[in-house]
Amino acid sequence: MSIAQNCVTKALLKAGITIGGKNPWDITVSDNRFYKWVFWKGSLGLGEAYMEGFWECAQLDQFFEKVLKGGMPLMAVLNPTAIKLIVQSKIMDLAPRSKAFVVGKEHYDLGNRLFEAMLDTSMSYSCAYWKDATTLEKAQENKLDLICRKLNLRPGQRILDIGCGWGGFAFHAARQYRVKVVGLTVSKEQAAYAQNKCKYLPVEILLQDYREEHGAYDNIVSVGMFEHVGPENYRTYMKMVQRNLLPNGLFLLHTIGASESFFHAQDPWIQKYIFPVGEVPTRKQITRSTKGFFNTRDWHEFGTYYDLTLMSWYYNFIHLWKDIEEEYGPRRDGKFYRMWKYYLLACAGSFRAKNNELWQIVLSHPNKHQDYQPVR
């Protein structure tokens, strides 16, 4: 047994995973390159080896839950690829203005057919709110309405939606609460879809970087976009929001959150194959970025709901794959299906292991809205 095979096998056993075992979270290895790839490249090698078909697992979500709970991430931290990424995240701006449209082109512009197959009809690509809901459709409707109620939307208000996606929030808020919405996105596909979706409503969709916005808004919302901003730009982002928010307005930030750690950085595989720009923020990073700009009125955590959301997306994706296979099957040298499956189930396992959280944070200008009542 090679050094790489011995180390990887022991690390997996520590997490409760047996190579060749019978549990649904155990794995089978069909190509011994798996061991070298994981040993030398950590989580990047693990994902690439899966895309190549070097290993298989009946329940990838359970595999990742055990890996993340069992201490195996330490092995990923100590490999050269991960160390390089960690150092970069500490000293470099991974989401500069010059790369503002990269994540739009590389991820969100994969094509609306993929996301239509995976998401609900509102095309909400962020954590749903499963309280009193049994379907993805209802859970996403709950989330959109929860945001509107937290902002206390009133007819005629002007709302800025930073990272508006396919227009789900803009459509819901304009139709149900009779507000005017300006939505910003860096994805051409999203912009075209949202513009068509909202064409009969008081909604304006702009293909524009958030740093370019100058306006006056009663409330501002950002759902699932802050993860692409990057730590070096958090203060710039908050300054932009403060500049555009009227004195009595509220800002709602909906974002994935990461555990506090020196080794915190974007996962190398996720960064290379899924989201090329940005990093999931920590609680401390958000608190520091808002200091002097905003007061926190509410901090709502419901990360357990992201596990349910991701599993719903996964089941939609695999059940409707046959409808989109002709378009997406050839991508990544025929590895797109395995890549996307790995992405969704790895993220589900991460939330189940509480390696990530989901936050909705309500902020206001200092000394405003002292009587704010949290909404659930």
Whole-angstrom distance, CA of residue 85 vs CA of residue 60: 24
Contact 148, 252 (CB under 8 A): no
Q: Quick check: 129 and 137 in contact, CB under 8 A?
A: no
Q: Which of 185, 372, 346, 370 is nearest to 274 (CA)?
A: 346
Q: How far apart are CA 232 and CA 139, in angstroms?
A: 33
Distances (CA, A) of 147 to 44, 103, 133, 270: 35, 25, 16, 28
Element (H, E) at 307: helix 304-328
Q: Which of 57, 127, 198, 347 is catalytic?
A: 347
Q: Is 164 a catalytic residue?
A: no
- Report CA torsion sign: 316, 322, 323, 328: positive
373 three-state secondary structure: coil
Distances (CA, A) of 132 to 46, 102, 114, 168, 315: 37, 37, 28, 20, 21
Between CA 373 and CA 364 the distance in angstroms is 13
Ramachandran region, residue 283 (left: φ > 0; alpha: ψ -120 to 50; beta: rest): alpha
Beta strands in the chain, from DSSP E residues, in sequence order: 27-29, 55-57, 158-162, 180-185, 203-207, 217-223, 245-258, 295-301, 356-364
Give 257's DSSP letter. E
Per DSSP, 360 falls in state E
Task: For 218, list phi and psi in degrees, rounded to 5.
Answer: -70, -40
Q: Are 60 and 341 in contact (CB under 8 A)?
A: yes
What's the token pair of residue 224?
């699932």
Bin 184: left if φ > 0, else alpha if -120 < ψ < 50, else beta. beta
Bridging pattern class, strands 245-258 and 356-364: antiparallel
Residues marked as catalytic: 347
